[in-house]
Amino acid sequence: MAESALADPTFAPLLAPALDSVLHIEARAYDHPWTRTHFLDALASGYEAQMLVRDGAVLGYFVAMQGVGEAHLLNITVAPEHQGQGHARTLMAALKRWAMQVAAQRIWLEVRVSNTRAIRLYEGLGFERVNVRKDYYPGLGPAREDALVMYCPLDESEHP
């Protein structure tokens, strides 16, 4: 069935009962996926965690934490079979709405320097390159990979 013929996706809180579905997506999307413990720790800490769902299936999700005057994106993932269909933009729009609701003035994130697709998405959404964190991410074998640090200022006139 074509993606456009399906019901519109909606958001739901990412809660512990959904972790099996989320972990299945993580394992297929990343060489170094978050573990159940990572997600449980994020949920126990009260971090913002939302899923994009359609007809009971998880299309993607994000986890973010609030800081003083800012938000930090910790994880954003779209299931591999649903990538390239605009769901990452939908997730990022929800992240931005939440960040503005909690009075954040900017959103921060790290992204693997090799993830050019994500970097293009973030830049297209107004994120700016700030710095590089050397050896931030695990790599293949003993190697590690640098992270590009990016941030997006939020327009104060958009705050609710």
Q: Which residues are catalytic?
A: 110, 122
Main-chain dihedrals φ then ψ at residue 98, nearest 5 degrees: -60, -45
Using left for φ > 0, alpha for ψ between -120 and 50, and beta otherwise, residue 47 falls in beta
Contact status, residue 116 vs residue 145, Cβ threshold 8 Å: no
Secondary structure class of 46 (helix, strand, coil): coil
> Which residues, listed in sequence order, are joined to residue 108 by a DSSP beta bridge?
72, 151
DSSP 60: E
Question: 99: how many CB neighbours lie within 10 A of its CB?
Answer: 23
